[in-house]
Structure 1
Amino acid sequence: MTLPIRLPTRIFLLVISLVVISRSVTRGFSQMDAAADFTTRLDRHLERVTRRRGILGAPQVAVSAPRLGIDYRSGGRSQRFHVASIGKTFTATLVMQLVEAGAVTIETPVSALLPGDELDGLFDTTGSTDAAGGATVAHLLTHTAGVADYFDGSVTDGRPVRDLVITEPDRLWTPADLLEFSRTRQRPVGRPGERFAYSDTGYILLGRILERATGRVFHELLHERIFTPLGMRDSALLFHSVPANDREAAPAADAAAAALEGTPAPGAATAALAAETSTGTSLAIAPLRLGRTEASTFRSLSCDWAGGGIVSTPDDLVAFDAALHRGSLVSRESLAWLAEPRHRFHVGIRYGAGMMQVRFGGFSPFLRGLPRPIGHIGVLATHLFHDPVHDAGIVLNFASTREMSRSFRTLIAIEQELARAARA
């Protein structure tokens, strides 16, 4: 995923005013007063943002900071939206559950978990007899396996999938299709462990590892291990499952979803796509724009799977964030391993393993005092972050590849207002 932004330049223009805000805190508020002040000030910010977004309308925003008495929502708390690469945090969480269960280790070779025909052509195997060139689960999680990125990476022929989503909107992609795209139209970008190179293809392989190791298809694992236990009743894997609320409301849809179940074989997780038996196409989600193109109804969104194919709501994502950071999904040690910043993703952003850390000081020295939230962003200017200083979950959906800069300005404003509330 390439960020279509220049964060430092655009954000700097707002830094001085934000710093002034942070210096003008009125002390002596009660927590209730501080929470009300947070709401008023963030409402004003979002009113300005909404006016500037024009036809895009209001972004979806959720901030949950129980310690500060803050439970803020704006722009539709129950509207489902495409979370994009936020889904990588879900996949990484499922992988760490496998690690904790002893089914795999982070150092298990990929070639020990997937058959050679799935791995052929994806890795640089120069000087190695290993089908994955010695790549491990950790390499895939940290984007250091040397695998190309089918979505946005260089191609030897034609156009990347990012472009094909728009030019071929009715195309249904399976995980096998996506692996084949990288195999035949791209080249590995390096040897395993050699360098960081963001790879959606690598997360497709992680999804396949999860299926092979558990005997369950990927969307079942999401529902059984995350969505259902956490009461995330409006979340699903687009084109593969339906949210619990819809299953209860529509028995026919539930019966159709059951057709997707079974023991997976290579490509079985989306075999129903080719037969057009998937229920995902009927899900109504918030509008989203790829450039100028409104694409929320495109079947080509099936190009996202284990790397970011989830649809969810602000409320459901807040629930996931809270559970993840209180240790309900994986141990605190596993979470710390995922969150550990290892590589530079972008100016001001470091990457761990399915999680990012934002360092606002990288955008401007005036922002060095802000917390360093951890989580993930998606190409549609979607955010899921946890502020460890204020124990706050933050969800943003700006729903456009052209709104990343504006979304980060809002993230900065939220962090400023959380700091203000904490000092009150």
Structure 2
Amino acid sequence: MRKGFRIALVIAAGVVVAGAGTLAVLNRPLSRAEADAAVQRRLDDTVAGHDSVRGALFATWSGRTGRLDRYAAGVARVDSRFHAASVGKTMLATVVGQLVDEGRLGFDDPVGRWLDPAVLDGLVAEGRAGEVTLGRLLSHTAGVADYFEGPVRSGTPMIDLIAADPDRLFSPADLLAFSRDRQRPFAGPGTAFHYSDTGYVLLGLALEEIEGRPYAEILDRRIFTLLGMRDSHLATTFGTDAGLLPLTVRGVDLSSRNALSVDWAGGGVVTTAADLVTFLRAFTGGELLSPATLARLTAFEQEFQPGIGYGMGVMQFRFRDLSPLLFGMSDAYGAVGATGTYALYDPAGDTYFVANYGSLEFGEKAIEELVALRMILDRRTE
């Protein structure tokens, strides 16, 4: 994701070198109507200027006003459903946290307590399967390879595979087999941070054993039904037109193709912008987890890269550390997906930001766009 954040720095630098006159214009307060129009123009220009983005969604909710604002461009409508990618990791982490609060498990419990040893074979450093805990899987420190974007020792990388064969269907077992057969464990458990979708498949399988029901039903019962997220579910059928916004990978739209099954417990949720706002408000507001467990998930002890922290299924952006030119932009944390999807909360401004661009090629640039959109909204007068 580094490339996108370097681009964001270039945008901010361009504002500075443009001179005081430009800064005066850019700092001019905007009426709500002017700000809304500027946000809409930004989204329209994004769709027009990037072939891989056919529709764009952006939504904000302000705790100060209690107002939800939604914007859409291209083929998107404000209520369009989309594939949320790794935003689903925060939902999985929430379920684990709920089970911790219920006293049914602990973050330090080995995942092998619920999985057959053969499942971990080949995925973990030899002889160290007992050190693969739920917490290490959640925080990407279990040393497991990443089937989605990680390097392979043989065969075709996953992204190339799904782009070339979009009608291929994947089960969770298939995803683990990909890592087992074509990759090597990244490191010993607890020794390094390495983002891993493979690890979240292991967590999904463990949750099914713990709860005694399919992962889709677990999410329905513990999050979607509980919060009234009527337009959200875990995708379980593929290869049909489900009415989702386009999701492009290497120019191929996977929204109605079997290869969309490449995401499961690591990010297979279908949702809407409004539903994601609902989820993130409940998550940050303590409706789903105890204060102690929420604090554990959002400790951000891992460094994804300078300026980006990672907790357990939750990512933090310290914009001032990404660029000194963003020193006045407050931190935000939440969930981010590789396809230009995010659901982030700014505690200082009590504001939520949700977006979807539906393109793997736009995943990094989505955060650059967030910076630009926040610069617009920060000038808005309520």
Q: TM-score, normalised by structure 2?
A: 0.90
Aligned to 2:20: none
DSSP 3-state at the match of 2:203: helix
Q: Confirm or deny that 1:24 pairs with 2:19.
A: no
**Relative to 1, partners in 2 of residues 1:166 and 1:7: Cα closer, same or farther, differing over 3 Å?**
closer
- The one-character-per-residue Cα deviations of 1:122-172 (angstroms, maximum 9, x if unpaired) are 11134x5xxx14111110000000111111112221012222111222211
**Structure 1: gaps of 5 or more residues:** 27-32, 241-277
Match of 2:49 among 38, 42, 52: 52
Computed over aligned residues only, the root mean square deviation of the Cα atoms, in angstroms, reads: 2.2
The residue correspondences of 1:61-80 to structure 2 (distance < 5 A) are 61-68=58-65, 70-75=67-72, 76-80=77-81
Aligned to 1:351: 310
| Aligned partner letter, 2:217 | E
Aligned to 2:100: 99
C-alpha separation between the residues in 2 aligned to 1:280 and 1:86?
22
The residue correspondences of 1:243-282 to structure 2 (distance < 5 A) are 278=237, 281-282=240-241
Aligned to 1:108: 109
Q: Confirm or deny that 1:139 pairs with 2:136.
A: yes
DSSP 3-state at the match of 2:325: helix
8 A contact 2:55–2:245 mirrored in 1? no
The residue correspondences of 1:166-177 to structure 2 (distance < 5 A) are 166-177=163-174
Higher deviation after alignment, 15-24 or 191-200: 15-24
Match of 2:344 among 385, 389, 403: 385
C-alpha separation between the residues in 2 aligned to 1:294 and 1:279?
13
8 A contact 1:86–1:377 mirrored in 2? yes
Shift of residue 235, structure 1, vs aligned partner: 1.1
C-alpha separation between the residues in 2 aligned to 1:18 and 1:343?
32
8 A contact 2:276–2:354 mirrored in 1? yes
C-alpha separation between the residues in 2 aligned to 1:417 and 1:326?
26
- The one-character-per-residue Cα deviations of 1:275-334 (angstroms, maximum 9, x if unpaired) are xxx478452210111122222222011111000011111111111111111111112322
The residue correspondences of 1:24-423 to structure 2 (distance < 5 A) are 24-26=27-29, 35-53=32-50, 56-68=53-65, 70-75=67-72, 76-126=77-127, 128=128, 132-238=129-235, 240=236, 278=237, 281-421=240-380
| Aligned partner letter, 1:71 | L
Aligned to 1:258: none
DSSP 3-state at the match of 2:353: strand
DSSP 3-state at the match of 2:68: strand
DSSP 3-state at the match of 1:283: coil
C-alpha separation between the residues in 1 aligned to 2:95 and 2:321?
31
DSSP 3-state at the match of 2:378: helix
| Aligned partner letter, 2:87 | I
Shift of residue 390, structure 1, vs aligned partner: 1.6
DSSP 3-state at the match of 2:294: helix
8 A contact 2:163–2:250 mirrored in 1? no
- The one-character-per-residue Cα deviations of 1:323-353 (angstroms, maximum 9, x if unpaired) are 1111111123222211221222234322111
| Aligned partner letter, 2:224 | F
| Aligned partner letter, 1:24 | N
8 A contact 2:5–2:368 mirrored in 1? no
- The one-character-per-residue Cα deviations of 1:221-263 (angstroms, maximum 9, x if unpaired) are 111111111111111111x2xxxxxxxxxxxxxxxxxxxxxxx
8 A contact 2:5–2:365 mirrored in 1? no
C-alpha separation between the residues in 2 aligned to 1:334 and 1:35?
38
Shift of residue 391, structure 1, vs aligned partner: 1.6
Shift of residue 416, structure 1, vs aligned partner: 2.4
8 A contact 2:80–2:245 mirrored in 1? yes
Shift of residue 413, structure 1, vs aligned partner: 2.3
C-alpha separation between the residues in 2 aligned to 1:417 and 1:390?
14
**Relative to 1, partners in 2 of residues 1:141 and 1:78: Cα closer, same or farther, differing over 3 Å?**
same
| Aligned partner letter, 1:94 | V
Higher deviation after alignment, 77-86 or 402-411: 402-411
- The one-character-per-residue Cα deviations of 1:63-104 (angstroms, maximum 9, x if unpaired) are 111314542111122111111111101111111011111111
**Relative to 1, partners in 2 of residues 1:55 and 1:108: Cα closer, same or farther, differing over 3 Å?**
closer
C-alpha separation between the residues in 1 aligned to 2:322 and 2:4?
6
C-alpha separation between the residues in 2 aligned to 1:398 and 1:119?
35
Q: How many residues align?
A: 372
C-alpha separation between the residues in 1 aligned to 2:292 and 2:380?
30
Shift of residue 109, structure 1, vs aligned partner: 1.2
Shift of residue 359, structure 1, vs aligned partner: 1.5
8 A contact 1:223–1:236 mirrored in 2? yes
**Structure 2: gaps of 5 or more residues:** 17-22
